[in-house]
Amino acid sequence: MNTRWGKAASYFGLVLAITFGWLLYIEAVCFIRLWSADAGTDLIPRERLRLVYKNADWVDSFSNEWAPSNVYAYKSYVGWERRPFTGRTINIDDSSLRFTAHSQCGINAYTIWVFGGSTVWGAGTPDWLTVPSQLAEMYEKDGRVVCVRNYGQQAWVNSQEVVKLTLELKTAERKPDVVIFYDGPGDVYETFQSGKPGLHQNFDSMAGLFERKASAGSGSFDYLMSTNTGRVLTEKKAASGDSQKDPNLIAQETMRVYMENVRFVQALAKQYGFQPAFFWQPTISLGHKHFTPAEQVARDTAKLRSPGLEAANQAAYALFEKNCTAPLFCIMDAFDQADGTIYFDDAHVDAEGNRLIAKKMYDALHAQSAAATNIAYTSGTGSPTTLK
C-alpha cells in the first residue's frame, strides 16, 4: 500500500513539476516579448527613420529620446497624457504639450489649438517637423504671427479631445481663435477594438486594471491577468479587435458618436467665439497614392494584424465624405501626388507627409476665413478679424 501511494505521489509530483515548468517557460517567453516591445521597439523603428530621413543628424537623438519621453501620467477625464520631458528632438512642457516651433504665444496672439492622437503629437518626427509646427511655419512665412498649441496625445480619440478642449476653455486665459481636430481612424479603431463606440482605446484592459485593483483581497483569480502571460493574451485580443463585426456597422456607430461631438464643439464655438475645423486623417487604405514597396508592406502588415479594420476605415470615411462641408474637411488626396515613401505604417507619416497635411489645413482655414470676411462685409456685421 505504501509503495502504491509512494508511486502515485511521485507521479503526481512529476506532473506538477512538468506543468509548473511549462507555465514558467510560457511566463518567461511572454516577459521577453513584452520587454522587447517596451524597450527594444520604437513606435517608428530606428532603422525605418534612417531609411526615410537618410543623413538627418537628429535621427539617433530622436530614437534615443523616444522611450524616456514615452511615459504617461493619469489625468482626470481624459485618461492619460505624457509626462514633461526635455531633449534635443522631443520637448514636452508641464502641461503635457509638445513644443511647437515657429509659435509665438503672446497674450494677444492669434491662437490655434490642434487636437489629435499620435499623428498630431508627431510620432516619427522631431518637434520642428510636426503638423502643428509646420502649420505655424506657414503662417510665419506669410508674415503672420500665430500661437499654435499641440494638444496631440498618444492613442487619443475624438471624445477625449473634446473633453480636453472643454477643460482648457474653462481655464485658459487666452481663448482660441481656431480649434483643429485631426483624427477619425483612431475612433474607428476604438470601435473595432472594443465593439462599442465612444470609449477610449484599450478600454477593456485599462478597466481590468482598475477593477482588479478594486477587488484585491476579495478572493478571486483576477490577479492572473496581471501576469506577463495574461498581458500578452489581453494584448492579442485588443489587437485583433472584433474582426467578425460588420465593417459598415462599425463605421456607422463610430460616425454617430463623432458627429454628435461635432455638434457639441459647434455649440462651444458659438459660445466661446472660435472657428472649429475637423480634418479626417488619411490612412494607407484611403486615397490614391502610388505605394512604394515599403508602403505596400506596411499596408499588408496592417491588414494581417487587424483583419476587417481597413474596410471599416473605408466605410467610415465614405460617411464623413457625405458631410464634407465646413467645419468638416476632406483631405484624403493630400498624398496622391507624393513621390517616395510617406507612410511609416498604416497611419503615421514622415515630415513631408506632415507638411502636406499642414498645407491642406492652412489652405482650408485661409479659405474659410476669407468666406467669413465676405459674409461679414456683405451683412454689415463689422470688420473681419485679422491675424496680428
What are the tens digits of pLDDT across the range 347-368?
A: 999 999 999 999 999 999 999 8
Instruction: Supply the pLDDT for residue 386.
Output: 37
Instruction: Render pLDDT for 161-196 as a digit per residue (tens, 0 to 9).
Output: 999 999 999 999 999 999 999 999 999 999 999 999
Q: 81 falls in which pLDDT band (50, 70, 90)? A: very high
Helices (H), 36-146: 46-53, 59-69, 118-121, 131-141
Handedness of CA 329, 348, 63, 73 (dihedral sign): positive
Say how far apart CA 182 and CA 327 lie, in whole Å. Answer: 12
> Lowest mean pLDDT: which of 13-17, 92-96, 314-318?
13-17
Among 121, 113, 114, 120, smallest CA distance to 90 is for: 121
Distance CA 58, CA 374 (A): 45
Q: What is the pLDDT of residue 10?
A: 73
Long-range contacts of 382-386 (CB under 8 A, 24+ apart): 385/177
Q: Which residue has the higher pLDDT, 284 or 23?
A: 284
Residue 311 CA to residue 303 CA, distance in Å, equals: 10
Average pLDDT over residues 60-69: 95
Which grid coordinates belong to 341?
A: 515613401
| Model confidence pLDDT, tens digit, residues 240-268 | 555 578 999 999 999 999 999 999 999 99
Region 303-328 average pLDDT: 96
Give me the sign of the Cα torsion angle 216, 220, 225, 226: positive
Q: How confident is the model at residue 373 (pLDDT cuts 50, 70, 90)?
A: low
Give tens-digit pLDDT for 151-164. Answer: 999 999 999 999 99
Would you say the C-alpha torsion 59, 65, 71, 73 has a positive or negative sign?
A: negative
Mean pLDDT for the chain overall: 86
The span from the CA of 305 to the CA of 137, in Å, is 37
